A = this chain, B = another copy of it.
């Protein structure tokens, strides 16, 4: 078992990563001083429930925890106020009190939704993450929790740090291959922004990661969480440094919005975005090699590196302007300076980004 601490003063918490560690759930909950008297609510989704819920509930009950569960439909649309209300209904029916905890068993959707429920139920109760996707290594660090509004993603939320994160590799073995790749996209991102050696390691261990080799996957999740936690520790409230986590996300978010959530998974959209940022780097005088390495890596992982041609450039640009707000024709953009190092630039123009979008459509 690997262990790391997300350092946030009073709100610091541990992340445990390893194969089979779900068996230690009781001991880990005890270490976090979770209450056996007050009911626990486990929130999961309709795809994860048939695969893993029963086992989690059995372990908790065997350990003497008073656990109830609540299942939301799988998919991004569950990040809504109406699902939040449903979780609160379950919490009230189960008799949760101020010493209770909500446990998120699932991917980023369940983590964000259940996390916001924990942040707001009785003005904040304790929260535990048991991530079941690779992508959730990202959402399990940093305490951002939220639901969507029909007009905007993640717009209603809170910062609410978990008590602990329990990442059992065994839970990930049921992931469909497309979700595996998409999750690895964020893992690779953490290398690209912070750790050149890990980027090289990702290049050397592609096969292992794609086949969910437990040792390799455990290491990759550990480094991914570690990089994010270093960044978040230095900037909990997203004032400056945390922006570097958005490498590839400017174009990525716009692509997700235009394609309609679903056609492109988040990890797929940002792999295209990271290739775009690497291309943009050349215009600021950085080495061409950055683009080659980035693109090569995502290709190796079977992730998309160009924009599906049917997506309209104007629509992509306008989604981006909506998302980010250009100030006097320029925007904040994360640009790689070399592998493992990025900068936050404020002088990227709309015109430059449009050119990159065109390039990514194979027309540049």
Report Cα–Cα, A97/B327, bound state, in Å.
Answer: 13
User: Which chain B positions have C-beta within 8 A of A120?
Assistant: 116, 120, 156-158
- Cβ A85 vs Cβ B158 within 8 A: no
Report Cα–Cα, A184/B281, bound state, in Å.
Answer: 65
Of A123, A146, A152, most buried by chain B (CB within 10 Å of CB) is A123
- Cβ B146 vs Cβ A123 within 8 A: yes
Contact of A88 among B88, B121, B123, B149 (CB under 8 A): B149
- Cβ B81 vs Cβ A151 within 8 A: no
Answer yes or no: A201 CB below 8 A from chain B CBs: no
- A213 → chain B, closest Cβ, in Å? 36
- Cβ B156 vs Cβ A144 within 8 A: no
Contact A119 to B158, CB < 8 A, known contacts A89-B149, A149-B92, A151-B89: yes
- Cβ B88 vs Cβ A157 within 8 A: no
User: Which chain B positions have C-beta within 8 A of A144?
Assistant: 123
Q: How large is the interface on A (under 10, 10 to 19, 20 to 34, 35 or more residues)?
A: 20 to 34
Residues 130-157 (chain A) with a chain B CB within 8 angstroms: 144, 146, 149-152, 155-157
- Cβ B123 vs Cβ A92 within 8 A: no
Answer yes or no: A122 CB below 8 A from chain B CBs: yes
- A154 → chain B, closest Cβ, in Å? 8
Answer yes or no: A280 CB below 8 A from chain B CBs: no
Contact of A155 among B82, B92, B150 (CB under 8 A): B92
Chain A contact residues, majority secondary structure: mixed
Q: Which residue of B lies closest to A85 (CB)?
A: B81
Total copies of this chain within the assembly: 2
| Binary contact track A142-176/B, C-beta < 8 Å → 1, others 0 | 00101001111001111100000000000000000
User: Which chain B positions have C-beta within 8 A of A121?
Assistant: 155-156
Residues 303-345 (chain A) with a chain B CB within 8 angstroms: 325
Answer yes or no: A63 CB below 8 A from chain B CBs: no
Q: Which residue of B lies closest to A325 (CB)?
A: B97
- A262 → chain B, closest Cβ, in Å? 22
- Cβ B119 vs Cβ A155 within 8 A: no
Q: Which residue of B lies closest to A97 (CB)?
A: B325
User: Which chain B positions have C-beta within 8 A of A155?
Assistant: 88, 92, 121-122
Report Cα–Cα, A82/B157, bound state, in Å.
Answer: 15
Report Cα–Cα, A152/B152, bound state, in Å.
Answer: 28
Report Cα–Cα, A353/B92, bound state, in Å.
Answer: 25
Contact of A81 among B81, B124, B158, B325 (CB under 8 A): B81
- A114 → chain B, closest Cβ, in Å? 14
Contact of A92 among B85, B152, B157, B158 (CB under 8 A): B152
Answer yes or no: A103 CB below 8 A from chain B CBs: no
- Cβ B88 vs Cβ A158 within 8 A: no
Report Cα–Cα, A206/B152, bound state, in Å.
Answer: 51
- Cβ A159 vs Cβ B123 within 8 A: yes
A-B contact pairs, 10 of them (CB 8 A): A85-B149, A89-B151, A119-B158, A120-B120, A121-B156, A122-B155, A122-B157, A123-B144, A123-B159, A124-B158
Instruction: List 19 additional contacts besides A81-B84, A92-B149; criterion CB under 8 Å.
Output: A81-B82, A84-B156, A88-B149, A88-B155, A88-B156, A89-B151, A92-B151, A92-B155, A97-B325, A120-B120, A121-B155, A122-B157, A123-B144, A123-B146, A123-B157, A123-B158, A124-B158, A124-B159, A158-B158
* A interface residue numbers (CB < 8 A to B): 81-82, 84-85, 88-89, 92, 97, 116, 119-124, 144, 146, 149-152, 155-159, 325
Listed from nearest, the 4 A-B pairs whose CB atoms lie closest are A81-B81, A123-B157, A120-B156, A92-B151
